[in-house]
């Protein structure tokens, strides 16, 4: 089930939503034609539910939003970047499992 | 549809795929196995923990017998890799190295596991910053850029050809190419610059890939390096049509006890369906997958006759 806690982020509202977030923000850069991106979809949903209140999770479609991926030098998807207080604190590329993502989040909280 | 529709199409010619073929074909399903027997993990192994064989036997000998059995019962084996899988209504469409497209009612993924990392300096550091493992995912980031693809087999060649549609310059670094004629011919006709007999020593760059240093100390100036070793794995082939992997590690295809995946008509067996990575387990799952897939295909045919 898609979680309603996952926030759709665009180039336009990236600053307001991710950089100025009051809690750490995990942003998933994806595209509809990318198989591994689809594969991690359910994990993103589960994490959004499990860490609700402590962390926000968003998704950005790189097809529709080229500016932000360009700014962060993203050249492979899925890439997940963890922001805290407007800074990049961690980042991972490729379909990584829930355990690894949960550990990355725990470390930053 | 004018094309013949295959009942059970099996991707992978190792113990799991060949056992699936035996059980499916004996249930009167038409069966095609795709893949190269010599690329099975057991091919070069010495086996002594497989039931009913005495002493130590060569994996290659076991596979030779398996191929004989499967073909004798009526399965067809085509020694080509799969490049792409698509859904076509209730059927699946599979593209292979020669460029041929096959239509099937059911699909069994029995592709084993494969090594995907190159293990050279710079690879880990620049992952996601120019180092990529999925041409189909990331080609779009390299419009008008210069890229290199590394690998000897179908994934690398198909990847390099795909990239010619995006990048301004495509290099292919390979020790010795091991691909089917169709794919090899396409490569020769293409603009891909092939560096045969070479292998990477280091991926260079500060915060982004700037070059690829080869083992003869020449250097390619590139913005991206695609590591595409072996044939395309389940990650590339299966997830694009929505097959789910295990959520904890994303390293194998999730199945139930009937070897079904989350998509009706698609099954997985053997190493690609998770540990333990053993031939006995691969063969057991292959048996179940072949059996289940044949039943599914036969039922679909009966229903279509009634309609
Ligand atoms: C050195 C070594 C020793 C081993 N010793 C033992 C042992 O003693 N006993 C034991 O039980 N197990 C042993 N194993 C493990 C055993 O080899 C595997 O568990 C077994 O081979 C799994 O079978 P499989 O059919 O799932 O995959 P594999 O045998 O690996 O076969 C995979 C097949 O899929 C094909 N393929 C992959 N991608 C594609 C594609 N895109 N398109 C088409 N085809 C594709 C490959 O070409 C290959 O034919 C050993 C493994 C190794 C590496």
Domains of chain B: 5-114+233-306 (3.50.50.60), 131-227 (3.50.50.60)
Residue A94 confidence (pLDDT) = 87
Specify whether the CB–CB gap between B92 and B265 falls below 8 A.
Answer: yes
Closest CA to B30 of B76, B78, B94: B76
Using CA atoms, how far apart are residues B145 and B240, in angstroms rounded to an integer? Answer: 25
At A18-46, the pLDDT tens digits run 999 999 999 999 998 898 998 899 999 99
pTM of the model: 0.93
Specify whether the CB–CB gap between B19 and B108 falls below 8 A.
Answer: no
B247 shares contact with chain A (CB less than 8 Å): yes
At A75-99, the pLDDT tens digits run 999 999 999 999 999 999 988 889 9
Cα of B42 vs centre of ligand 1, distance in Å, is: 5
Look at B137 and A35 and tell me if their CB atoms are within 8 Å: yes
**Cross-chain CB nearest to A36 (options B130, B137, B241):** B137
Give 10-residue mean pLDDT values along chain B (307 residues): 83 98 97 97 96 95 98 98 94 96 98 89 93 92 97 97 98 96 96 98 96 97 96 88 89 96 97 96 98 98 89
Using CA atoms, how far apart are residues B207 and B125, in angstroms rounded to an integer? Answer: 9
A91 shares contact with chain B (CB less than 8 Å): yes
Using CA atoms, how far apart are residues B22 and A55, in angstroms rounded to an integer? Answer: 51
3 state SS for A19-52: HCCCCCEEEEEECCCCHHHHHHHHHHHHHHHHCC
Closest CA to A61 of A48, A78, A73, A46: A78
**Cross-chain CB nearest to A77 (options B130, B138, B251):** B138
Q: Cα dist. B211→A77, B155, B158, B200 in Å?
A: 21, 21, 22, 10
Q: Which residues contact B168 (CB under 8 A, 6 or more apart)?
A: B144, B145, B146
At B182-227, the pLDDT tens digits run 999 999 999 999 999 999 999 999 999 999 999 999 999 999 999 9
Domains of chain A: 6-108 (3.40.30.10)
């Amino acid at each position: 089930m898609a979680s309603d806690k996952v926030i759709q982020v665009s180039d336009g509202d990236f600053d307001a939503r991710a950089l100025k977030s009051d809690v750490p923000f995990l942003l998933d850069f994806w595209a509809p034609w990318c198989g591994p991106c689809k594969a991690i979809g359910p994990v993103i949903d589960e994490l959004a539910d499990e860490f609700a209140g402590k962390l926000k999770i968003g998704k950005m479609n790189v097809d529709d939003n080229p500016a932000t991926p360009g700014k962060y030098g993203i050249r492979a998807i899925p890439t997940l970047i963890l922001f805290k207080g407007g800074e990049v604190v961690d980042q991972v590329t490729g379909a990584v499992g829930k355990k690894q993502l949960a550990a990355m989040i725990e470390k930053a909280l | 549809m004018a094309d013949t529709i295959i009942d059970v199409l099996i991707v992978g010619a190792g113990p799991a795929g060949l056992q699936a073929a035996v059980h499916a074909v004996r249930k009167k399903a038409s069966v095609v196995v795709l893949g190269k027997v010599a690329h099975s993990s057991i091919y070069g192994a010495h086996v002594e923990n497989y039931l009913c064989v005495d002493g130590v036997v060569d994996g290659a000998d076991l596979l030779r017998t398996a191929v004989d059995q499967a073909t004798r019962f009526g399965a067809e084996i085509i020694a080509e890799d799969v490049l792409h899988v698509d859904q076509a209504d209730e059927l699946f469409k599979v593209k292979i190295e020669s460029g041929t497209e096959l239509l099937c009612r059911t699909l069994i993924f029995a592709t084993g596991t494969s090594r995907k990392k190159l293990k050279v300096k710079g690879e880990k550091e620049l992952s996601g910053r120019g180092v990529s493992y999925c041409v189909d995912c990331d080609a779009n980031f390299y419009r008008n850029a210069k890229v290199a693809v590394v690998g000897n087999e179908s994934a690398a060649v198909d990847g390099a050809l795909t990239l010619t549609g995006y990048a301004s310059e495509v290099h292919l670094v390979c020790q010795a190419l091991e691909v089917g004629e169709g794919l090899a011919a396409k490569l020769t006709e293409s603009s891909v610059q092939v560096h045969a007999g070479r292998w990477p020593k280091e991926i260079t760059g500060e915060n982004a890939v700037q070059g690829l240093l080869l083992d003869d100390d020449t250097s390619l100036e590139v913005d991206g390096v695609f590591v595409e070793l072996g044939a395309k794995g389940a990650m590339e082939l299966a997830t694009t049509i929505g097959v789910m992997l295990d959520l904890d590690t994303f390293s194998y295809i999730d199945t139930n006890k009937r070897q079904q995946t989350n998509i009706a008509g698609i099954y997985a067996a053997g190493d690609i369906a998770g540990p333990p990575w053993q031939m006995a387990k691969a063969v057991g799952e292959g048996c179940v997958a072949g059996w289940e897939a044949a039943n599914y295909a036969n039922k679909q045919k009966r229903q279509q006759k009634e309609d």
